[in-house]
C-alpha cells in the first residue's frame, strides 16, 4: 500500500486540488484509494461533494478516540474505489487536545495501521507546519510538494526539505522521501520560467514532467463537488492532472 502526502506549508499551492484529482484518477484506473483529509478547512471532502460541516465522526475523532472503529469514519464517495476520511473544523483543536498525549506525533500512523484493502492512502495537508504535519509525515512514506510558481516558492521548498530531514532523523523514519515536486499555477512569464529552472536545479530528477498551468475548470470542478475528469474530461486541466497521476502511479521507490 503506497502512502503519499501532498504537503506545502504555503497556502494555496494546490495541495487539495492535486490530492483530490490524483485520487480520483487512480480510483478510475483500478487503484483503490483512501483520501485522508488532515486540514480543518475540510476541503478535500467538500471538493468531492461531501457536506462536511456537521459530519461526525471525522478524522479528529479517530485521532483522539482510539475506540472509534475505522469503518464508522471512512466514507465512500460517489467515485467508485475512492473513500475519504473527512475533516472539518473540529480538527483545529487537535494540537491542543493531543498536547499531553505521550505518542501524539504517532496517532495518525497508529490509527491507519489497521487500514487494509487499499492500493493508495493519500493525505491532504493544512497550510502550516506543526503537530498535524508531523503526524502526516510519520504516516506517509512519499511526499509530493506542489509549488506555486511565485518568487517566495523556493523559500517554502527549503522549509519543507528541512522539516522532512528533521522527521527522518528525529523519528528514524528513513523511508520518508520527497518523491516529486509539482509546479502549479504556471503562467508563461519570465519569472515563472526562472523559478521552474531553479526548481529543476534544486531537485534534479524530482520535478514532475507535468507542469500544472492555470485552468479555471479545475476550480469550477471543485465548486460542483466533482473531479476534473467528471466535470470537464476534455479540458487542459484534466489532461495535466492525468499526466501527473500517471507519473505518480509509475514512480518507483528505491
Q: Indicate the residue among 17 and 245 with the shorter CB distance to Mg ion.
A: 17
Is 11 a residue that touches ligand ATP (CB under 6 A)? Answer: yes
Q: Is 132 helix (H, G, I), strand (E, B) or coil?
A: helix
Q: For the beta carbon of residue 97, count every other beta carbon within 10 angstroms.
A: 13
- Report if residue 215 touches ligand ATP, rule: CB under 6 A: yes
User: Interface residues for ligand ATP in 39-58 (CB under 6 A)?
Assistant: 39, 41, 43
Number of residues engaging ligand ATP in binding (CB under 6 A): 19
In the bound state with ligand ATP, the residue whose beta carbon lies nearer, of 12 and 225, is 12
User: How many Cα atoms occupy the beta-carbon half-sphere of 5 within 13 Å?
Assistant: 27
For ligand ATP, the closer CB: 68 or 211: 211
Enclosing H/E stretch for 6: strand 2-6
Q: Which residue is nearest to Mg ion (CB)?
A: 16
36, 139, 182, 212: which one binds ligand ATP (CB under 6 A):
212
How far is Cα 11 from Cα 37, in angstroms, rounded to an integer?
15
Residues that bind Mg ion (CB under 5 A): 15-16, 43
In this structure, is the dihedral angle defined by the CA atoms of residues 39, 162, 13 and 253, taken in order, positive or negative? negative
Which of 2, 3, 17, 120 forms a contact with ligand ATP (CB under 6 A)?
17
Contact assessment for residue 121 and residue 1, using Cβ atoms and an 8 Å cutoff: yes
Distances (CA, A) of 185 to 136, 198, 213: 25, 16, 5
Per CB under 6 A, 37 contacts ligand ATP:
no
Q: What's the min distance (Å) between Cβ of 10 and ligand ATP? A: 7
Please state, in angstroms and as integers, the Cα–Cα distance from residue 49 to each residue in 79, 84, 203, following that order: 10, 11, 35
Smallest distance from the beta carbon of 69 to ligand ATP, in angstroms?
A: 28
Give the residues lining the site for ligand ATP (CB under 6 A): 11-17, 39, 41, 43, 127, 185, 212, 214-216, 218-219, 222
Amino acid at each position: 500500500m503506497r502512502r503519499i502526502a501532498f504537503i506545502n506549508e504555503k497556502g494555496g499551492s494546490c495541495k487539495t486540488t492535486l490530492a483530490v484529482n490524483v485520487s480520483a484518477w487512480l480510483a478510475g484506473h483500478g487503484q483503490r484509494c483512501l483520501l485522508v483529509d488532515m486540514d480543518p478547512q475540510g476541503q478535500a471532502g467538500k471538493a468531492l461533494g461531501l457536506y462536511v460541516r456537521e459530519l461526525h465522526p471525522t478524522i479528529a475523532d479517530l485521532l483522539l478516540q482510539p475506540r472509534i472503529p475505522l469503518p464508522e469514519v471512512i466514507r465512500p464517495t460517489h467515485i467508485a474505489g475512492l473513500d475519504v476520511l473527512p475533516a472539518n473544523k473540529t480538527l483545529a483543536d487537535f494540537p491542543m487536545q493531543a498536547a499531553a498525549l505521550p505518542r501524539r506525533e504517532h496517532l495518525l500512523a497508529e490509527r491507519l495501521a489497521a487500514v487494509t484493502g487499499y492500493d493508495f492512502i493519500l493525505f491532504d495537508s493544512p497550510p502550516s507546519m506543526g503537530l498535524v504535519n508531523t503526524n502526516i509525515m510519520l504516516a506517509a512514506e512519499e511526499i509530493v510538494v506542489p509549488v506555486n510558481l511565485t518568487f517566495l516558492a523556493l523559500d517554502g521548498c527549503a522549509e519543507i526539505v528541512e522539516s522532512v530531514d528533521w522527521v527522518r532523523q528525529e523519528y528514524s523514519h528513513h523511508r520518508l522521501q520527497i518523491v516529486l515536486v509539482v509546479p502549479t499555477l504556471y503562467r508563461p512569464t519570465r519569472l515563472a520560467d526562472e523559478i521552474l529552472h531553479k526548481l529543476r536545479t534544486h531537485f534534479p530528477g524530482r520535478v514532475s514532467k507535468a507542469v500544472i498551468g492555470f485552468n479555471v475548470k479545475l476550480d469550477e470542478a471543485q465548486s460542483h463537488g466533482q473531479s476534473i475528469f467528471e466535470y470537464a474530461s476534455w479540458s487542459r486541466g484534466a489532461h495535466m492532472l492525468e499526466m501527473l497521476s500517471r507519473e505518480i502511479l509509475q514512480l518507483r521507490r528505491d
